Structures are given as C-alpha cells and as structure tokens.
Structure 1
Amino acid sequence: MGKEVVVFLAAMEIMAEQFPGAFSGYSLQKRMDVGMLYSKFQG
C-alpha cells in the first residue's frame, strides 16, 4: 500500500505544478491510525 500512496502524492505534486490553482481551496491533513500502528508492531 505504501507504493500507491507515494505514486499518488507524486502525481498530485506534478498536477499542482502543471495546473496552478487547480487545487486552490483544498487542504491536506495527516491523520495517524493508532490501531494500524499497534497491529504492525504486534507481528
């Protein structure tokens, strides 16, 4: 799943550079899923 996120973010950055203002009015927020982190460390 990590690769897909990286590719998506790279594509969004390229689009933002090629189409200035296309994403105006939008914001990006990070959220941490504690349950997901917990399950990764449980093995």
Structure 2
Amino acid sequence: MKKSDLPVKICVQCGLPFTWRKKWKKDWDNVKYCSERCRMKKD
C-alpha cells in the first residue's frame, strides 16, 4: 500500500492532518491526536 493511499485524520489539538501508522492499527477509530505532545497538551 502506498503512503498516499493511507487514511488521514485531522488532529483535534493542532488541526494538522496526520496519516495512519502501523502502531495505531488496532485502535485507529479512537486516535484523535497526531502526537504525544498534542495529546498531553489537550485543553
């Protein structure tokens, strides 16, 4: 699968798009943040 074919979401904290990663394979529906930094900064 090409990277351009991977699913994309928008980070709820910073608003930037991020693509699917293998580590999120089992929990992709619940991923809201693009990084640990954004997750810890949630307001």
Give me the TM-score of the superposition, normalised by structure 1.
0.21
Q: Which has the higher helix share?
A: 1
Give me the TM-score of the superposition, normalised by structure 2.
0.21
